[in-house]
Amino acid sequence: MTGSVKRTIVSSKASIKADCPTCKRSQNSIIETGVAESSAHVHVSSENNHYILRCEGCDTIFYGNHYSFSEDVEYERDPITGEWSSFTPVSKSYFPTAKKRDKPKWYNFTFQIRQEKLSELLDSLLDIFDRGHYVFAAIGVRTAFDMTSEVLGAPPHTPFSEKIEFLRKGGHITPREKSLLEKLVDVGSAAAHRGWQPNETDVELLIETLELFINRSIVLPEGLDDLVKRVPTKNFR
């Protein structure tokens, strides 16, 4: 046997910089415990450190992984002397990852029960957005719009243009919103069929537009219906 793996418990309680999922930025974090794994095989070696971390800013507990491999080499230049030197980069990942976007206020338990499929789709959409898959997220916005319009009664299996016209006729959207939604659907198509590569800001704008549309067309009317039912009726005599 030429390779070996050595594992040791990390008990240093050292403080390191790590991406806190709650603070959504790099924070000083205590290594509460962990396992340091060193592997060696002939001339190559790797260090794989698993940490249970606690943010010193907000006290959140999260997981961190720092990994380095002896054959990965990168170079950096000293800004003062101009000399080049080599180093082994450390790849760092954390779980849970910091969410790029919070769920809207109206995304609560009631919404999840009433709109089960739509909320599942929104969950997946925010998940792929968090992971940085912006093309899929843009396509997902178009799909979520499609589903929302069907919740509002638009006939399934019809083109988007007909669904949007159905929403306008039914008073769910204004003419101005109609043209915005047409653009929303079109950029989703551009990502799906025309090779458009949206960035984070582009997709965030699309998601925000979609959320506004869901809020205005489904959540607010349902909330008002509930409210009206709870208000004592006027006694006409």
Residue 185, C-beta contacts closer than 8 angstroms, at least 6 positions apart: 142, 145, 160, 164
Pick one of 5, 44, 58, 224: the residue that binds Zn ion (CB under 5 A): 58
Please spell the DSSP secondary structure of 64-82, one letter per residue.
EEEEEETT--EEEE-TTT-
Pick one of 10, 15, 22, 26: the residue that binds Zn ion (CB under 5 A): 22
**Which residue do the tokens 């990390």 mark?**
10
**Binding residues for Zn ion, how many (CB under 5 A)?**
8
Q: Which is nearer to Zn ion, 17 or 77 (CB)?
A: 17
> Please, what is the minimum distance in Å from the beta carbon of residue 22 to Zn ion?
4
Q: Which is nearer to Zn ion, 57 or 96 (CB)?
A: 57
Q: Which is nearer to Zn ion, 28 or 179 (CB)?
A: 28
Q: Stretches 47-55, 73-81, 98-106, 200-208: which one binds Zn ion (CB under 5 A)?
A: 47-55
**Which residue do the tokens 């929303």 mark?**
184
Q: Stretches 6-14, 54-62, 150-158, 203-211: which one binds Zn ion (CB under 5 A)?
A: 54-62
Long-range contacts made by residues 113-119, C-beta under 8 angstroms, separation at least 24? 114/222, 115/151, 115/218, 117/147, 118/144, 118/147, 118/148, 118/151, 118/214
Residue 152's closest CA among 168, 130, 135? 168
> Please, what is the minimum distance in Å from the beta carbon of residue 56 to Zn ion?
8
Pick one of 23, 40, 121, 205: the residue that binds Zn ion (CB under 5 A): 23
Q: Is 55 in the site for Zn ion (CB under 5 A)?
A: yes
> Please, what is the minimum distance in Å from the beta carbon of residue 63 to Zn ion?
14
Q: Which residue type occupies 14?
A: A
Site string for Zn ion, 26-45 (x = CB under 5 A): -x------------------
Long-range contacts made by residues 187-190, C-beta under 8 angstroms, separation at least 24? 187/138, 188/138, 188/139, 188/141, 188/142, 188/143, 188/145, 189/142, 190/138
Structure tokens at 11: 């008990």
Site string for Zn ion, 172-211 (x = CB under 5 A): ----------------------------------------
Q: Is 18 in the site for Zn ion (CB under 5 A)?
A: no
Q: Is 132 in the site for Zn ion (CB under 5 A)?
A: no
Q: Give contact residues for Zn ion (rule: CB under 5 A).
A: 20, 22-23, 27, 55, 57-58, 60
